[in-house]
Structures are given as C-alpha cells and as structure tokens.
Amino acid sequence: MTDPTPRVALVTGGTGGIGRAVIERLVQDGFAVAVHYAGNKARADETVAAVKAQGGAAVPVGGDVADEDAMAAAFDAVEAEFGGIDVVVNTAGIMLLSPIATLDLDDLDRMHRTNIRGTFVVSQQAARRLRGGGALINFSTSVTRLQFPTYGAYAASKGAVEAMTLVLARELRGKDITVNAVAPGPTATPLFLEGKDQATIDNLSKAAPLERLGTPDDIAETVAFLAGPARWINGQILYANGGVA
C-alpha cells in the first residue's frame, strides 16, 4: 500500500464469486478492505491472506447481514481496525428459483430475509457511518427487467433493493455520499450456474449482443467505478449485463 491513509471498503459476501472479485479490484485501487462472511470463515481468512500477500491491508468480519447487532459489530470492527469506512459494497444475497405457483414459502422467507432485510440492515449502518466522499453500492439483478420464468420471488426481492437504494440516495442529501445499485445480467458465478444444464447456460451466454456470460471481473469493474471516480452518479441502477436488456 503506497497510500499511508488508504480508503476503506467493507464488502459483504466477500467470499463469493462477485464479492471476491470486487475485493481484488478495490485492492488494486489502493483500498484497505474488510472481507465479510456469513458462515465460511476459512474462505474469508484465505481471501485476507491473499490480499496481504500482495501488500494490501485486509481484515475478516463475520455475521448474518440481516442481524442488526451482528452488522453493527462488524462495522465497529472495521472502524476499530482502519479508523473509518468510505465504501460499502453489499454483494451478499441468495437466489432460490421456482415458479411462483409452486414456490415453498419458507424459501421465500429465507431469500427475502437475506436480500431485503439484509440489504436494509447494511444500508442503515452505511447511512449512519460512511465518511464524506463515500459510496454505498447495493446489488440488484437485470432479471427485474428480463422477466425470466422461475425468477419471480428473487426478482421481487431485488426490486425491493432498488426501491430502498433510490430512496436512500435522496435521504442522504448534503452528506456527500452516493448510493447506487449494480444489476448484473447472467454472470458466470457458482450462484448463477448451480442447477443449470449446459444447454441453458449456452442459451444465456448468447442473450447479450456480446455473446458471452459476464464474469465477476466485469461486475467488479462497475463497482470500482462507483466506489472511486463516479461521484456524479447517484441514486441510479447500473445494468452491467453486456446489453441483454
């Protein structure tokens, strides 16, 4: 780290495919990073070790994103380690697919607890704690515009994320904090690929004019833009999907 006072980012879901790519990209930009995990501390520790091996600064923080006490403690830990927080990237989420008519309502509750309540809890902490010049970056999905069958409950949860993101951007007037959401299209992550046969994956890879699936690095570039130079982008949903919608 060449900057003696680097900017600090907390990435929820930091051990996932997109979360890990975001961490690696922000480290390239000189950020100190907090790697959040829900249950797999070993993966978080491995990510932290990889950042430190590259000369970066990182710390693991755990907890259920939907638990306000756990998230308050996570933010406390980051502030204690690095002195403050400049960027929060909220990649944590789950995706359970089913036609609406047959969806298990327990799955609906699980998904909405993580995707809606979790995003709300983390956004609430970010609104209270981000330093001036900071950024909150939530995660939606391009499926809110694509209307793929079986994605109804997931898209509904992300529609809620978009609504709270747009409102919070206006509520933080005067604080010099941007609030946006990234809405990836089909992206080659374990979360997306799980349960799909090769024919389905091939069809989805042709949906965008660029004729490929997105990669976690594609999404991380969008996050880095919002976390750094994009100070005039605020209260927006950025569709990072290669032109699929």
Give the residue numbers annotated as catalytic, written as ranges: 154
SS3 34: strand
Q: In sequence order, what are the residues at sequence separation of 6 or more whose Cβ sits closer than 8 angstroms to the Cβ of residue 146?
A: 185, 244, 245
Tokens, residue 122: 């983390």
Core vs surface per residue 159-181: b (16+ CB within 10 A) or e? ebbbebbbebbeebeeeebbbbb
Helix (H), strand (E) counts: the chain: 10, 7
Q: What is the CA radius of gyration of the chain?
A: 17
Contact 48, 73 (CB under 8 A): no
Strands 178-184 and 87-90: unpaired
CA angle, 178 then 21 then 137, to 5°: 15
Tokens, residue 1: 């780290």
Rounded Cα distance between 62 and 40, Å, is 9
Contact 180, 135 (CB under 8 A): yes
